[in-house]
Amino acid sequence: MPQSTRKKHIVCKNCKTRFTGDYCPYCGAENGVNHVRRGAGGFFGGLFRFALSLAALALLIAVGFVILDYVASAGGDGTSAARAILDSARNAIPQSALDTYAAFKARYLDGWVAAVVDFFTVLFS
């Protein structure tokens, strides 16, 4: 029995275009069916994802600032580039935020960083 050489046509359920292949050439629907993305969240979902992205970026910048502060402080004269970047960043940050950071650093970070440095000093010596 001979095989049919005619191509199978699909009618798109979105735009009613008749086509062959996997995607509608007019609207781009796969196999003539437009797949709706579930859980997109609409406007408020997008706003929440945007706010979450900003919070993650702020956290990343804060961690980078803390690391740069400790590298510039521990390096002495050998880290003049780190010191220049840190001084430039400090000129852009309000003084009240720097005072809050200094209090947080003295109360929490210095002890934690000292414990981590001691741990790695014992581990690698």
Element (H, E) at 11: strand 10-11
pTM over 0.95, yes/no? no
Residue 73 has pLDDT above 60, yes or no: yes
**Overall number of domains in the chain:** 1
Residue 18 lies in a domain: no
Residue 76 lies in a domain: yes
Residue 26 lies in a domain: no
Residue 74 lies in a domain: yes
8 A C-beta contact, residue 22 and residue 31: yes
Residue 19 lies in a domain: no
Q: According to the model, what pLDDT value does residue 17 have?
A: 85
Residue 25 lies in a domain: no
Q: According to the model, what pLDDT value does residue 70 have?
A: 83
Q: Hey, how many other C-beta atoms are within 10 angstroms of the C-beta on 69?
A: 19
Q: According to the model, what pLDDT value does residue 34 have?
A: 65
Q: According to the model, what pLDDT value does residue 77 have?
A: 63
Residue 29 lies in a domain: no
Rg (CA), the chain: 29
Which residue is it, tokens 């796969």? 30
CA–CA gap between residue 98 and residue 64 (Å, rounded): 15
Q: How confident is the model at residue 113 (pLDDT cuts 50, 70, 90)?
A: confident
Q: According to the model, what pLDDT value does residue 30 have?
A: 79
Q: What is the mean pLDDT of residues 28-56?
A: 80
Residue-range definition of the domain harbouring residue 73: 56-123
Which residue is it, tokens 């390096």? 75
Residue 38 lies in a domain: no
Q: According to the model, what pLDDT value does residue 36 have?
A: 59
pLDDT greater at residue 77 or residue 53:
53
CA–CA gap between residue 32 and residue 55 (Å, rounded): 40
